[in-house]
């Protein structure tokens, strides 16, 4: 699926994506493929897969795994939000 990073908690190593259906997905920095943690910031477009985890509670967000930047993504720097002209349209 393609989505966009919505927000991150940089010092805790996790964040949230918005998927194509508007659903929010949790991801951990260990789910990244071919991307560095500091490149991930709000507004960056990504590809990911959704995963059911039996340990998740019913009220928890869906999980995103195998998260990677899209081919046209402009990576962030030090997890700082992208300026509006750098956010994918």
**Residue range 51-76, pLDDT digits in tens:** 876 666 666 678 999 999 999 988 88
CATH code of 61's domain: 2.40.50.140
Are 71 and 32 spatial neighbours (Cβ–Cβ below 8 Å)?
no
pLDDT of residue 78: 83
**Where do the H-state alpha helices sit in the chain?**
none
- DSSP-derived 3-state class of residue 72: coil
pLDDT of residue 56: 64
- Per the prediction, the chain carries an average pLDDT of 87
pTM above 0.85, yes or no: no
User: What mean pLDDT comes out for the span 18-35?
Assistant: 94
> Range of 39's domain?
2-86
Q: How many helices and strands in the chain, by DSSP H and E?
A: 0, 5
Q: How far apart are CA 8 and CA 17, in angstroms?
A: 9
The count of structural domains within the chain is 1
What number of CA atoms fall less than 13 Å from residue 57's CA on the CB side?
Answer: 2
């Amino acid at each position: 699926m393609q989505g966009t990073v919505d927000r991150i908690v940089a010092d805790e190593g996790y964040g949230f994506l918005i998927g194509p259906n508007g659903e929010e997905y949790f991801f951990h920095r260990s789910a990244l493929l071919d991307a560095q943690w500091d490149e991930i910031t709000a507004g960056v477009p990504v590809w990911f897969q959704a995963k059911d985890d039996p340990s998740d509670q019913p009220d928890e967000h869906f999980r995103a795994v195998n998260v990677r930047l899209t081919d046209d993504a402009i990576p962030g720097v030090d997890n700082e939000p992208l300026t509006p002209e750098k956010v994918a349209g």
